[in-house]
Structure formats: C-alpha cells, structure tokens
A and B are shown apart, each in its own frame.
Chain A
Amino acid sequence: MEVMNLLYAGDGKPPNLCVHCSVCSATCPAVEFMDHSPRMLLAMINAGMKDEVLASNTFWTCASCFACSERCPQGIHVAQIMYALKRYSLWHNRYPEGLVGPDFSRRFVKTILANGKSYEPGYAPAFIWEGGLPGLLYEMLGAVKLLRRGRLQLIPKKIKRVDNFRQMIGRIIPLEGIS
C-alpha cells in the first residue's frame, strides 16, 4: 500500500519488522493524548488500514522527542514514521478537521521562505484556534510580558541574500507548492 511504500523510504528499518513489544508506547511522553499508541499505529500501518491511519491524531500529537526511535529493539525509526505521515497527509491534504498542526507547519514554512529566518509572532495566530479567546488573551499577556523584557521581536529578521535563497529553495521544490 502507498503509505507503507512511503515509509520504507524513511530512515531506519521498515515498520513490518515490528514485534509489538510496546517499548515505543511505554516510552512515549504524549501517548495518553493520542488516538492510537505508537505501537498500535504501526500495527495499523502493517495491516494496511490506510484511512484509519490517516484519520488518527497520533502523528500530529508526536512531540518528535525521539525516545521511541532510540529504544526500539528492531531499529525502527518510529519518530521518522510520524514525520513521514505528517508529510504524507499534508501533501494529500488529508488530515482530521480541527487539527492545528498542519496549518502551523504551513505558516512556519511560509515565514521562513519569505525571510530565510523565523520569528515568533509570525506563527502566533496558530495559537488562536487551539486556546479559543481566553487562550488568546493569556497568550497575549505572556507576549506583553516578553515584549517588556525585550524578548519578543515584532519585525521578522531577514537574511541578506534572500533572492538567492529563494532560488536555492526553488531548485528543491516548486515554491508555489507550499504556500
């Protein structure tokens, strides 16, 4: 199946070597917030349950902490599989509604492509949906505190050779593809 093929391309060993030892799930700090534990997700991939895999919030809840990859006795790079699934679902525009992750990634990338650098306020709007209005107010209070202490910039920095930079990126991916 397509998802499986994609995953073979990633680092580490293919997911079908999984022996269901659950070491990845046991070590995962975010597991209680996932629809499916990492081990379960691997099992679903191996069973070819593409729709269920893509509908899961599991890979969007992955913090990329690499604990699973480091400990998997089979050498499966579980964290890379989570990344691969994020990429796959972004490419295919297939992700559960209401998730902030995909939008966040896109915004972040846009900021970097425009400037060569990232800055916090550029992706602050992503906070709005997650926390609702009270969340936003608290974010702003936090932002005010940081501003007063000189820890928040309001104008994104730019690299000098931004045109060359964009041309360089253009040799890797079509620029309109991600904006």
Chain B
Amino acid sequence: MKTYAYYPGCSLESMAVSYHVSAVEVAHLLGVTLVEIEDWNCCGATAYSHVDELLAQVLSARNLALAEKEQRPDLVAPCSGCFKNLYFANEHMLEDADLMDHMNFALEADDLSYSGGVTVHHLMDLFVREVGLDAIREKVEDPLEGLRVAPYYGCQMTRPRKPGEGLEDVEGPRFFEELVGALGAIPVDYPYRMRCCGASLIATSRQAALSMLRDLLQSAMDAGADVIATSCPLCQINLEVYQSEVNRELGTEFSMPIMYFTQLMGLALGIKPKQLGIGSEVVPVAPVLACRQSQRTAVAG
C-alpha cells in the first residue's frame, strides 16, 4: 500500500508519545507506511503567528520542502495544530507566487526548494478516506462493544477550512462518529463536540481555559460518555492533564479517560494495549479496556 511522509511534530516526541506509537502501529496493521521526514522542524504552533506571519510560513515551508525532496507527495500530520499550519502554509504559497519566491529564497540557505507538489493530510483523513471505513471494519478483531465514545473534533482538524477544502461538511462533520462506529463502539452525540477546549490559553488565560475545559467535560459526561476520543495532542494533554486542575479549582469531580482515536482503533484491531502507549495516563483508562469483547467474554467465561 501507499507510503506517506510523516510529520510527527514536537508534542509527539514528548507528552504525546502514545499518539505516535499508536499511529504507527495502526498504520502498519492497515498496510500504510509512514516514513518520518528527515530532520523536520517545529511547525511554530500558534505562538509563531502571534509574532510574525512570515516566520510561521517559512517553518512550514521547510517541512514541505523536505517532503518534496524525499519525493513523497502526500504528507500526514497527526497533530491538528501542525496539520493546520502545514495545510494553510501550503495553500498560501500555491495562491501567491511572490510568497513562494520569498520562501524559496529563505529555503536556499538550507539547500532546499519547494515547488508546491505536496498535499497535506490529517492522520484521521488518512484512515477515514484513504484507507476507508470498510477496510477498517474488516480488520476489527476485538470490537469495543457497548463502549460509549465521545468523538472530540477540536478546532483545527476542521477549521478554518471551507467546504471543498478536503471536507464535505465543515460545520457538521460525521466522519469521526463513523470511525468510532466502525470499531464497534457507540458514538455519543454531545453539543460541545466541536467547541474549543481552550488548550492554547492554558498558560496565558488559565481561568478561561479551565472553564472551557469544564464545559466540554461536562457536555460529554451528560451524554453518558465512557471516554473522550481526541485527534490532537494539544487537546488530549489539555483535557487529561488539566482535568485535576478543573476539579480542584472549579469543584467538579471528573474522571473522564481521554484517549487518542488511534489507541481506540488499535484496541479494536487487536493490538496489545502496551504497544499503543496505554499505561502512561494520568486519568485511568481501565473502564475502556474492560469494554473490549475479548475481556467481556473472558470475564463471563
């Protein structure tokens, strides 16, 4: 099957290692090869656009140029923040020849150039669209029966794209729910599934971030979710690691497991929890593990 240029991003090297390992395991099992881009650099997260637009642009341009040099026209990013930066940096250069020239002038300093030949995908796009739900369904060995999963889209996997920019429905997508369904789990609907979790404010406007976090956790809990599935390391870290802060400062008692969608995929595909980076959580995910069909039969038998 196809080979993709893989851009892990900084979070996946540290706080989100479990996203990285589960992504690689699942891709491998589904016959997709992810080849990490050689010597990639930070995409700039959001702080760069605060400081200088062109600086943010050149950071992404270098990563795109590296993928092009390796002759891999399809680039995959698992982090929604990285995805958005790479996607729009690419779009901007394709629309604006002057900008492309300017970037190439800078890239020359690193013996690189970019001609616009790379397409940027989010990791979830890769699984849902390129691999396809049917192919995933066929490979499910250990369905997550009865598990109520709240798919959390976050912001940048869908926004600020417009309809037609690789998304059928920006305001009301269903692909995450469909993916959860394909794993044998029950996708729960909840009003905050697309609302910002406040991750980018946690260091700078803590009260705003914690209150956004509380509303989101409450929304999923009210809908009876057993676990929130995320597709972004920034959301995952915010939702999981700061859950205790929300409890402490806002008087709540949340204990909501927050897992990467690739970890849920891996479990359903029969991969061992350890290989999916499960075991490094701050909020225990035991209730999720117990929902696998194999565990249920084991208990029943």
Contact = CB atoms under 8 A, between A and B. Distances in A.
B54 A145 contact: no
Given A66-B160, A170-B109, A173-B54, A165 B13 contact: no
Contacts of B10: 117-119, 157
B156 interface: yes
A108 B55 CA distance: 13
B14 A168 contact: no
A178 B52 contact: yes
B159 A29 contact: no
Contacts of B244: 142
A153 B14 contact: yes
Contacts of A61: 201, 205, 208
A169 B15 contact: no
B282 A149 contact: yes
B212 interface: yes
B39 interface: yes
B31 to A, nearest CB: 29
Interface stretch (B42-50, B118-126, B139-147): B42-50
A16 interface: no
Contact of B203 (A104, A171, A178): A104
Given A108-B47, A118-B42, A66 B198 contact: no
B13 A126 contact: no
B206 interface: yes
Contacts of A87: 49-53
B52 A112 contact: no
Given A30-B198, A90-B51, A161-B110, A99 B204 contact: yes
Contacts of B209: 63
A67 to B, nearest CB: 7
Contacts of A138: 245, 248
A122 B204 CA distance: 15
Residue among B59, B201, B204, B241 facing the most chain A CB atoms (10 A cut-off):
B204
B203 A165 contact: no
Contact of A131 (B50, B111, B206): B206
Given A90-B50, A131-B206, A67 B196 contact: yes
A70 B109 contact: no
A85 to B, nearest CB: 10
A77 B49 CA distance: 14
Contacts of B196: 29-30, 63, 65, 67
B40 interface: yes
B159 A66 contact: yes
Interface in A141-179: 142, 145-146, 149-153, 157, 159-161, 164-165, 167-173, 178
Contact of A160 (B39, B46, B171): B39
Contacts of B108: 171
A64 B205 contact: no
B201 A146 contact: no
Nearest to A162: B41
Nearest to A125: B203
A70 B52 CA distance: 23
Interface in B5-51: 10, 13-17, 39-42, 44-51
**CB-based closest 3 A-B pairs:** A65-B196, A66-B159, A33-B208
Interface of B: 10, 13-17, 39-42, 44-55, 58-59, 62, 105-111, 155-156, 159-160, 162, 170-171, 195-196, 198-201, 203-209, 211-212, 215, 241-242, 244-245, 248, 279-282
20 contacts: A33-B207, A63-B196, A63-B201, A64-B46, A65-B155, A65-B159, A67-B159, A83-B53, A86-B50, A104-B47, A104-B203, A106-B51, A109-B47, A109-B48, A117-B10, A117-B42, A123-B203, A164-B111, A171-B105, A171-B108
